[in-house]
Structures are given as C-alpha cells and as structure tokens.
C-alpha cells in the first residue's frame, strides 16, 4: 500500500512526540511492505511565527493532497497573549472545521501493567474500556457571537439537528462494534442545546434497538467517571463536555500522555492526534511520553488505511514495552529509571522488529 501522510508537529512537545510517531510509522512501512510518504506542514504557534497565520493555506493544501493527517500539539506561553485570531489553538479549530472532522474518537482503556500509575484504586480502574465520542466542529467552540471587552463577554452554544444527528449516529454505530451500550452525556436539566440533544438521542435509539441507551447529566457523569468508570462503553457528548471529560478520563489510565484520538467524518480524510497538549512544562527536555502519538498512528492505520494487523502490531508493541517495565517519567515509579522519549520509542522499534522475526 502507498499512502501520503501530512505531518503537522506543532509546538512544545508536539515535534518531540511526532518525530517518534513517524519513526514507528516508518518501521511499520518497512516491516509490512507499505510506503508512507510523510510531508511536513506548519500549524499553531510554529505557523504563526513563520507565516503569521495559525493555519497557513500551504498546510491546508498539503492536507488536501494527503490520505491522512498526523498532528502533534499546538500552543504555548509564547502566544498566550495574542489576539484570538492569532492563537495557535485557532489553527487546530480551523483545521477540524475545514475538513468537517465532526467526530472525535477518544478511547480510554486500562492497561494492566500500568494500574500502579493510576491514582485510583485497582478495583476501580482494572475493567475500564470506554470510547468517548466527542462532537468536534460545533457548540461553544464555534458559535457566534464570540467576543469580549473589559466589561462583558459572550460565547454562543448552538447546535443544529443535523450536527447532533450525525454524531449520535456515529456513536451508536461505534457502540455496535463494542459492548453495545451508549451513555449520552448532556446538561438537559439546564441547557436548551442539551434538550434538543437528548430528544434526538431518544428518536435515534429506535433505529438501534440492539443498543442499550442511558442519559447522564455531565456533572454526575464527571463523578461517575472516577467512582465507577467501568460502567461506560461509548460516551457520546458535545464538544466542550467531551474535551473536559476526556482529560479527566486520562487519570484512570495513569497519564494524559497515553491517550490517542482520531478525528473523522463519515468518509475520507482523518486527523490523528494525542489528546494531550503541548505540555510547555516539560517541552524541550526530551522526556514526554510518545505513547499517545504512537497510538494515534495505530488509529490512523486502522481507520484511514484499514490496516488492522499493522495497527494491532503497534498496540501490542506498546503493551509489551509497558509489561516489560519501561516507562517515561510520567509513568515511572519513584525508584524506577525513566526512559527519555527517544529511548522509550527505541524499545517500541525493537519490539516491532522482534514481532516480525518471530512471525
């Protein structure tokens, strides 16, 4: 197979974890006889610095001519005081909107060899296996008006029926491939957009009689995510609730540095990126955990290219390296030696080579 992959490293630890993710992609290509052409583009702060635009048109063109997009992370203190249109985060929102990537899939599963790293008790985390399906191109992030003065500020939370229907369908379809349960998370006791959301979930569930459906208010969902997370299978929720709940869910696994994501539409191009941000507090030290970026490559192989065996090989390598007790600083115990970003990926590469030799 021959594919073109647009690589957008971004800022902070983005370039550090992307370099390792691309290295793993290259090993997969070599081992399984595929050619992945990687081409690099600017996004976020890096693009502001060079092009005065967080999403330059060259980057859009590169992505348009690619089969999938891999993205690191954007943002950092350097640009925090910029006007809204010149913030790195705007580039990320714009690329999601431009390509209509309305469904953001964020899997969260306990890794047996990492249970020690979670601040939660073993019996709470050990059975966790959920998928957060976050609406990504609507809601508060995109509603107009959106502005502030020193005296007042406004953000607008708007959802159309069509926007809700397509994400709800996506969630139901994904639940069919999993344990068959959907938890729709909203704030229907207060918000009008959530009332429409809940109504549409009720309408849609008739089309999916095989799926168990429950509604959960977002505040208590946040609580249940920590007290009893194994009850969740697929969570469907709007943009901002999904953003917050997915970072919260990362605590179950032990580190934000573990969670990958896929941003997709019904067909065509997909964008793959870690759930975490640019981590300015550890950027430049070579210590970031590249697992989320590497697992995002696995999601790309599976969802964009249909390469299930290759994706499984990457996931297996990640699990094996953890089982063998190799961790980056975010996961290492007090008396363990933490590996650098690159050293940890070396282990993944060795493991992929080993898998290949033994097959």
Return phi, psi of residue 179, to 5°: -90, 0
Residue 92 found at the interface with ligand IPM (CB under 6 A): yes
Instruction: Tell me which stretch binds ligand NAD (CB under 6 A): 116-124, 161-169, 277-285, 343-351.
Output: 277-285
Applying CB under 6 A, which part among 99-107, 126-134, 284-292, 309-317 lies near ligand NAD? 284-292
Whether 129 is catalytic = no
Residues 12-41 that bind ligand NAD (CB under 6 A): 13, 17
Residue 215's Cα: distance from chain center in Å?
23
CA–CA dist 107, 109 (Å, integer): 7
Q: Does the active-site annotation cover 169? A: no
Find out whether 280 is annotated in a ligand binding site.
no
Site for ligand NAD in 239-268 (CB under 6 A): 256-257
Q: Is 141 a catalytic residue?
A: yes
Q: What sign results for the dihedral spanned by CA atoms 216, 221, 224, 230?
A: positive
Binding mask 225-264 for Mn ion (x = CB under 5 A): ------------------x---------------------
Query: Which residue of the set 11, 67, 243, 330 is catalytic?
Result: 243
Q: Give DSSP secondary structure letters for 1-22.
A: -EEEEEEEEESTTHHHHHHHHH
- 298/307 with CB nearer ligand NAD: 298
| Residue nearer to ligand NAD on the CB measure, 238 or 273 | 273
Place of tokens 């941003």: 263
| 326 lies in the binding site for ligand NAD (CB under 6 A) | no
Q: Is 290 annotated as a binding residue?
A: no
Task: Scan residues 119-138 and list those touching ligand IPM (CB under 6 A).
Answer: none
Residues engaged in binding ligand IPM (CB under 6 A): 75, 89, 92-93, 243, 275, 277
């Amino acid at each position: 197979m021959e594919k073109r992959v647009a690589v957008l490293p971004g800022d902070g630890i983005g370039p550090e974890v992307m370099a390792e993710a691309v290295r793993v992609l290259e090993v997969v290509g070599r081992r399984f006889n595929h050619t992945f052409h990687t081409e690099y583009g600017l996004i976020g702060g890096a693009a502001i610095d060079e092009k005065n635009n967080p999403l330059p048109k060259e980057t859009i063109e590169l992505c348009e001519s690619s089969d999938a997009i891999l993205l690191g992370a954007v943002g950092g203190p350097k640009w925090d005081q910029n006007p809204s249109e010149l913030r790195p985060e705007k580039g990320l929102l714009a690329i999601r909107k431009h390509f209509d990537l309305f469904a953001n899939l964020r899997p969260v599963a306990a890794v047996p060899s990492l249970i020690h790293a979670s601040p939660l008790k073993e019996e709470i985390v050990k059975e966790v296996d959920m998928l957060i399906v976050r609406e990504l191109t609507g809601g508060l992030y995109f509603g107009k008006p959106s502005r502030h003065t020193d005296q007042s500020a406004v953000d607008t939370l708007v959802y159309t029926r069509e926007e809700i229907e397509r994400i709800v369908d996506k969630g139901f379809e994904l639940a069919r491939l999993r344990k068959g349960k959907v938890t729709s998370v909203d704030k229907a006791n207060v918000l009008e957009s959530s009332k429409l959301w809940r109504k549409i979930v009720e309408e849609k569930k008739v089309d999916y009689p095989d799926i168990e459906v429950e509604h959960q208010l977002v505040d208590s969902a946040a609580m249940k995510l920590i007290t009893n997370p194994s009850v969740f299978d697929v969570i469907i929720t709007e943009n901002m609730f999904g953003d917050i709940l997915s970072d919260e869910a990362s605590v179950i696994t032990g580190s934000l540095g573990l969670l990958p994501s896929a941003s997709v539409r019904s067909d065509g191009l997909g964008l793959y990126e870690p759930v975490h941000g640019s981590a300015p507090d550890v950027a430049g030290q070579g210590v970031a955990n590249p697992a989320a970026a590497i697992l995002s490559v696995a999601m790309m192989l599976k969802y964009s290219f249909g390469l299930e065996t290759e994706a499984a090989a990457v996931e297996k390598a990640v699990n094996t390296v953890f089982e063998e007790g190799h961790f980056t600083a975010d996961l290492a115990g007090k008396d363990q030696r933490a590996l650098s970003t690159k050293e940890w990926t070396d282990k993944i590469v060795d493991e992929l080579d080993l898998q290949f030799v033994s097959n």
